Amino acid sequence: MADKEDDRPRTHKWVRRDGATIRQAPDRSQMSVTTPEGEAPESTDLAQGMRAALIDWPIVILRVVGHANGKLKLGQHPGRWVRGRLGGIIDDVLDGGSSPRITNPNSPAHRLLGRHGRGSKPDGEAWAPFVVRADGMPEALGDKGGDLRFELVMAGEKAVSEVPAFIAALRAGHPAPSGEPEIEWRTIQAMQVDEDGDPRWKSVPPGATEVPLVALDRITEPRVRKGRMVFAFVSATPLARRGDVGDVHGECALVVDRLCRSMGAWMGRTSHRGPRIPVDDALRAAAEITLVSDGTRAVEVPTRLIAAEGAQVDAEERVAALTGVVTWKGDFSGLAPLLRAAHWVGMGPGRQHGLGQVSIR
């Protein structure tokens, strides 16, 4: 007689999926979000409020391809390497001072990176106007070198005004730090949104004095499916805040709460004067969305990837974050503008080091 454990229907292929679970509601050990009282808004009204908050927020998104002509070690967090290498170029070429920290708000380096420590050792604030999207970059290149591909986001009028000078500094070349190969920055493209809301990449010509802005309120990609969404934490995304109790998880309400608050904080730090994100209405809408499957994994990231050294209370402190994928079911039409914006600019602190990169489909 067959063992009971093997006595299963043979009409399906059984596949073990480590880490993927089905959960309908967070258990008591998980972080919770309080849903404001009141009815969920009409999806059209919520979407309109989201677009109103995003309109006229100056955003530039660049795609950069560089070629290293020798062996290179980027480390476990390639985005941190990108921030360090580019930060060194920005400080040397656009600032040229000698103080250990750049705190002068009139410095082009400050406008691009916020307050930060000078040089190729990456150090800066949680809400810097400079974002690195380094998904897919290797942790190292062999003796023959190879290509490096990543995207950059600059937010706010001050940072955007310095983008042409930054691009010119990249193209002019810069001595490599000791022990690293020279890098030729071969391709620099800027995203622009056409009349239909579709994003397009276009090469930035040499000598350009301005770069097109990305209209986050009008962008239509990625498409949002009716009734179902896959939300991926492409890089480690900090969700815990100081004083939070419980484990981070992939419930839509928690993710939308953190997304709204981090996006709002970033808008404020980059001097965006538009209407505020309708957080309460967003939470009411998110509370009606069901978690279908949770394939996320909780990780911890060091605080040095999130805040400047001078702001760290404990150098060994670590912050809870998520990686992996969740699937949600519900009506996403009201939240779509916010979720699309997050797809392109990320969420949470530490984005200048490559954290907080997310995608939707």
Q: Which residues contact 22 (CB under 8 A, 6 or more apart)?
A: 292, 293, 294
Q: Which CATH number fits domain 59-203: 3.30.360.10, 3.30.70.1890, 2.60.40.650, 3.40.30.10?
A: 3.30.70.1890
Instruction: Please name the residues in contact with 13: beta carbons below 8 A apart, sequence gap of 6 or more.
Output: none
Measured CA to CA, the distance from residue 304 to residue 284 in angstroms comes to 34
pLDDT (tens digit, 9 = 90+) per residue, 296-311?
999 988 877 776 544 4
Question: From first to last of its 361 residues, what are the pLDDT tens digits of the chain?
Answer: 444 444 443 333 433 444 444 444 445 588 888 899 999 999 999 999 999 999 999 999 999 999 999 999 999 889 999 999 999 999 999 998 888 889 999 999 999 999 888 877 777 777 899 999 999 899 999 999 999 999 999 999 999 999 999 999 999 988 998 889 999 999 999 999 999 999 999 999 999 999 999 999 999 999 988 899 999 999 999 998 777 778 899 999 999 999 999 999 999 999 998 899 999 999 999 999 999 999 999 998 887 777 654 444 455 678 889 999 999 999 999 999 999 999 999 999 989 999 999 999 9
Domains 17-55+221-360 and 59-203 share a fold: yes
Domain ranges of the chain: 17-55+221-360, 59-203
Per the CB < 8 A criterion, the answer to whether 305 and 321 are in contact is: no
Q: Are 183 and 322 in contact (CB under 8 A)?
A: no
Give which of 83, 232, 257 is closest to 153, Cα–Cα. Answer: 83
How far is the C-alpha of 213 from the C-alpha of 258, rounded, in Å? 25
**Cβ burial, residue 10 (10 Å; 0-12/13-18/19+):** exposed
Contact 352, 131 (CB under 8 A): yes
Predicted model pTM: 0.88
CATH class of 17-55+221-360: alpha beta
Residue in this structure with the two tokens 């939240």, named with its chain if needed: 335
